[in-house]
Amino acid sequence: MTDLHGRSAIVTGGARGIGAAIARTLVKSGVGVVVADILDDTGEATAESLGPTALFRHLDVTDDDQWRRVLDDAEANFGPLAVLVNNAGILDFGSVESESPAMFRHVVDVNLFGAWLGMHLAAPRLRANGDGVIVNISSTAGLMGYSGIAGYVASKWGLRGLTKAAAIELGPAGVRVCSVHPGPIHTPMTVGFDASIAAGQPLPRFGEPEEVASMVGFIVTEATFSTGSEFIIDGGATAGMSLTDLS
């Protein structure tokens, strides 16, 4: 078990959904957590509910000045940075043909460039601190294709690849980098999604944010020999296809 007392963590998109659950799990492990998001009121409320070892800071992950301020604040309040969770993400519906160029760019900007920027600016600090973990929240859309969400799929595959590149570069400095690949999870992002999306999975239900958070907690505190690794939490959706009905 990694001791995280006296250290800081940043969870992007931490105001709600999976990010808020991750922040809650990390606080329990003893690390001071900066909940970073563009949703100020929700983020403040989430941080307050987590107690004195959490605070909220406004962060648009595409803005490098804001990133620098959040990194400085995390270390000033809670100690040397130990954990970065790149969780902020947006979903846009649009096919290769129908998605507008502006929206494709925006999705890639937040989901991929934003995570890269966080790693780019956090990595030197983690390297200087001699250890640390970066967890990038990708998706099953980073393991397989889906129709109708072209920019999202591209961004999540990109994040999976970026995770491996960073793991190779940062491993010798004692810094681990892993990706997490959730299937459908009950959050504000999936409000209105039909339950049938999960019906064909071996575990035919949506997951809960706490289940993803528990995996992230494991990666941070227990998975000390894992880096560049993909952690899948999808009810078996990517395990394959059932042919039972055809036989």
| Residues labelled as active-site residues | 152
Query: Nearer Cβ to ligand NAD, position 131 or 208?
Result: 208
Binding to ligand NAD (CB under 6 A) within 94-133 occurs at 110, 114
CA angle 206, 134, 126 (to 5 degrees): 160
Query: Nearer Cβ to ligand NAD, position 182 or 217?
Result: 182
How far, in Å, CA of 106 to CA of 116, rounded? Answer: 14
Strand partners of residue 135 = 85, 178
Asked whether position 188 contacts ligand NAD by CB under 6 A, the answer is yes
Asked whether position 32 contacts ligand NAD by CB under 6 A, the answer is no
- Determine the interface stretch with ligand NAD among 14-22, 92-100, 121-129, 237-245 (rule: CB under 6 A): 14-22
- Determine the interface stretch with ligand NAD among 24-32, 87-95, 120-128, 171-179 (rule: CB under 6 A): 87-95
Binding to ligand NAD (CB under 6 A) within 146-175 occurs at none
Task: Specify whether the CB–CB gap between 83 and 135 falls below 8 A.
Answer: yes
How far, in Å, CA of 110 to CA of 227, rounded? Answer: 23
Query: Nearer Cβ to ligand NAD, position 2 or 178?
Result: 178
How far, in Å, CA of 108 to CA of 228, rounded? Answer: 21
Alpha helices in the chain (DSSP H): 17-28, 40-49, 64-78, 101-108, 114-129, 150-170, 209-221
- Determine the interface stretch with ligand NAD among 60-68, 118-126, 127-135, 164-172 (rule: CB under 6 A): 60-68
How far, in Å, CA of 100 to CA of 44, rounded? Answer: 33
Asked whether position 214 contacts ligand NAD by CB under 6 A, the answer is no
Q: What is the b/e burial string over 208-218, where b = at least 16 CB atoms within 10 angstroms of the residue's CB?
A: ebbbbbebbbe
Binder of ligand NAD out of 151, 184, 217, 235 (CB under 6 A):
184
How far, in Å, CA of 56 to CA of 120, rounded? Answer: 22
Q: How far is the CB of 243 from ligand NAD (least distance, A)?
A: 26
Binder of ligand NAD out of 10, 122, 185, 213 (CB under 6 A):
185
How far, in Å, CA of 19 to CA of 16, rounded? Answer: 6
Binder of ligand NAD out of 30, 39, 214, 238 (CB under 6 A):
39
Asked whether position 88 contacts ligand NAD by CB under 6 A, the answer is yes
Binder of ligand NAD out of 35, 55, 61, 133 (CB under 6 A):
61
Task: Specify whether the CB–CB gap between 122 and 64 falls below 8 A.
Answer: no
Q: How far is the CB of 182 from ligand NAD (least distance, A)?
A: 4
Q: How far is the CB of 247 from ligand NAD (least distance, A)?
A: 31
